[in-house]
Amino acid sequence: MAFSTKYILNLKRNESVAFVKQCFRLYSQKEHGIKDLIVENLVGKHSGVTVFGMNRPERKNALGVNLVNQLDDELDKIGYDGKTRVLVIRSLVKDAFCAGADLKERIGMTSTEVSQFVKKLRSLMNKIHHLPIPVIAAVDGAAFGGGLELALACDIRIASSNTKLGLVETRLAIIPGAGGTQRLPRLISPAKAKELIYTARVIDGSKAEELGIVNNVVDQNTTGDAAYSKSLDLCEEIVQNGPVALKMAKAAINRGLETDLTTGLAIEEACYAQVIPTKDRIEALDAFQTKRKANFIGE
């Protein structure tokens, strides 16, 4: 990133402060090779599964600028690579999925920077929501604020018994700004979502399963990754199915939920039309006829 001397001298005082902060952050990240996100492409029976491991132990995976940028970049890479069939987002930090916004970093931001960052965060959640493959959140530990919003943007959520969840933003005199006020009421009853947001209540994994916020709750194990382990079992079932069919099923469900039934059925029809000419559909019929396992190629 290069800037001319004339550009720097013409900055207003408040712009100069923000400029210096931005440069310092970018320099620090580049200089020290900070890696807040570890990406792993699994093999064997989990071939086709990509895992995003959030790795900020000192901040309990709080959503800072660096982590958000890395998530955004990696999502762009796998969204259309043709190899990843399922994405799992997990934590590599024990007892913490994601603590939400990085408040220590937020304190040093100007109002303009805060607004821009929240906009980027909202865009990130939308990118996860619209990713053309199934996305599973493996929640082994606490997920507060933006951390829960991250999980809500995923298609499926698996939680461990030690999980604590909550949209706690009203305690900080703000509201959920990365999709929480929209996705939670669509997932559970609007009245119950309002109660949780108004009170900033924290609930455990069992209560979250009862409300329908998470799909399954599993007893935590000694290694602290029970939800991740359960997520891999689910991935093993999903990757056996047709990749194009998974993509179209997700599109039909997501788009249909935002409209009336008649329009939703038309969306389903349009998505179904996309799978009819695929090689995978013919392969599935042939495999059924010859009593063998289908070999899908995503075409």
The active-site residue out of 48, 53, 100, 146 is 146
Is 101 annotated in the active site?
yes
State the sign of the Cα–Cα–Cα–Cα dihedral 112, 116, 121, 122.
positive
The active-site residue out of 147, 169, 177, 205 is 169
Dihedral-angle region of residue 54 (phi above 0 means left; psi in -120 to 50 means alpha; beta otherwise): beta
Please report where in the chains the tokens 């995923």 appear, as a residue: 154
Is 149 annotated in the active site?
yes
Tell me how far apart the alpha carbons of residues 169 and 179 are, in angstroms, rounded to a whole number: 12
The active-site residue out of 62, 99, 147, 149 is 149
Is 169 annotated in the active site?
yes
What length does the chain have? 299
The angle, 0 to 180 degrees and rounded to 10, between the axes of the packed helices 65-79 and 13-32 is 60
Tell me how far apart the alpha carbons of residues 281 and 283 are, in angstroms, rounded to a whole number: 5
Tell me how far apart the alpha carbons of residues 231 and 15 are, in angstroms, rounded to a whole number: 45
Is 299 annotated in the active site?
no
Give DSSP secondary structure letters for 141-186: SEEETHHHHHHHTSSEEEEETT-EEE--GGGGT----SSHHHHHHH
Q: What pairs with residue 226 in β-bridges?
A: none
The active-site residue out of 96, 99, 101, 245 is 101
Contacts 24+ apart (CB under 8 A), 122-125: 122/177, 122/178, 122/179, 123/72, 124/68, 124/71, 124/72, 124/75, 124/178, 125/149, 125/150, 125/152, 125/153, 125/178, 125/179
Residue 85: count other Cβ atoms within 10 Å of its Cβ.
23
Q: What pairs with residue 50 in β-bridges?
A: 41, 87
Q: Which residues are catalytic?
A: 101, 146, 149, 169
